[in-house]
Amino acid sequence: MNSSLSFSGSDMASSPSTPPNTGSSAMAPPSSSSSRYENQKRRDWNTFGQYLRNHRPPLTLSRCSGAHVLEFLRYLDQFGKTKVHTNMCPFFGHPVPPAPCPCPLRQAWGSLDALVGRLRAAFEENGGKPEANPFGARAVRLYLRDVRDSQARARGISYEKKKRKRPPPPPPPPPHPQFPPQMAEDQ
Ligand SMILES: [Zn+2]
């Protein structure tokens, strides 16, 4: 009985919080973007659950680690729609390439970043412990940062921090600058 996403933890045995799947709640007025977020989060969670069910060898949520999350993110790349140029492509670094090229399509960094955020929230809403949240694993953060930097270079765009959440504190300036100042990349 669709229990593949349930936790084996005993501390939530008395909270059957999952409503029956009626599948008919799509008539909600599109007034708030938060309900759209909630719907997207639910879809993402279902997608991840499906991924776990199809995983070989079998994988349960409670045994899911950051490494499995990375596996999931790489798996999603085959459905990506964002052209990411390779180093050898003549359009490497061009935001708007003038001609087609055979470079692969990937999931855009922004999509992955938002997806991980939604799944991280969903994990805890579904009974997962924050300290065991695989979507908050350090490896996942590092992977996302790596994807962001490499896609910024490959696509010739910069991802500005427009999010209102929590801007990271700026790093303290080094006392003795040892490197020449960086040149602006998009001149
Ligand atoms: Zn290319």
Give domain limits for the chain: 36-155
The answer on pLDDT for 80 being more than 60 is: yes
Q: How far is the CA of 145 from the centre of ligand 1 (A)?
A: 21
Let me know the angle formed at the C-alpha of 185 by 144 and 149, rounded to the nearest 5 degrees. 10
Distance of alpha carbon 136 from alpha carbon 121, whole angstroms: 10
Please give the model's pTM, rounded to 2 decimal places.
0.68
Average pLDDT, integer, range 7-33: 48
Task: Please give the distance, rounded to the nearest whole angstrom, from the Cα atom of residue 93 to the centre of ligand 1.
Answer: 9
Kindly indicate the confidence band of residue 178, based on its pLDDT and cuts at 50, 70 and 90. low
Q: CB of 37 within 8 A of CB of 30?
A: no
Task: Tell me the CA–centroid distance for residue 111 and ligand 1, in Å.
Answer: 20
Distance 127 CA to ligand 1 centre (A): 43
pLDDT at 159: 79
Calculate ∠ Cα 26-30-36, nearest 5°.
70
| Block residue for tokens 């949240």 | 133
